[in-house]
Amino acid sequence: MTAPPEDPAAPKLKGIEAEPGAVVKRACVPTGPELCFNAIDDNCNGILDEGCGVHTGAVQFAIAWDDPEADVDLNVIDPNGELVEVGRVTQSGLTKQRDCPGRSNACRGQNMENVYLEDGEPLAGKYAVSVRLEQLGQNEPPVLVMLGARIGQKTYSLEFQLKRPEDEQQVTLEF
């Protein structure tokens, strides 16, 4: 499957800054049909995890990890300095879909957190994204976390290894 034609009005990434150790992948390599809850654009159509019940928009940040008992948090601060939280839309239009693993195993082992632009045009500026290990699960460290970012019609992915609680990786994306 090929990517849709470029929309000249879509937001464009101006820069991405990641901490040492993060592997940034900008080129999409089709690997087949879209897989659910991996925060990767598997079919290279410019959308992360479509068809999986994951909300998307012109701006989207998603993390996924394998250990169902590990608690990893996705925190996004928009260009206004506002933290995106579950169940509340920021002034810039971002919202967080869910917090995994969640109370009473609400994510059912499909650990993915997702922040997306609910509606409208994205706010230009810097978006500060942090991925933080709150609690190790049953598996031995490190916890491998994939961060997917959608900016307009392009997707980017970053891979992190978090080794102990309170390990955190920060990424800044500007568009």
Residue 9 domain-assigned? Answer: no
Residue 76 domain-assigned? Answer: yes
pLDDT, tens only, 153-169? 889 999 999 999 999 99
Residue 124 domain-assigned? Answer: yes
Q: Which residues make Cβ contacts (< 8 Å) with residue 167, sequence separation at least 6?
A: 132, 133
Residue 7 domain-assigned? Answer: no
C-beta of residue 85 within 8 angstroms of C-beta of residue 53:
no
Residue 73 is part of which domain span?
A: 15-174
When divided into structural domains, the chain yields a total of 1
Instruction: Specify the pTM.
Output: 0.87
pLDDT, tens only, 113-134? 999 998 888 999 999 999 999 9
Residue 25 domain-assigned? Answer: yes
Q: Which residues make Cβ contacts (< 8 Å) with residue 102, sequence separation at least 6?
A: none
Residue 75 domain-assigned? Answer: yes
Residue 4 domain-assigned? Answer: no
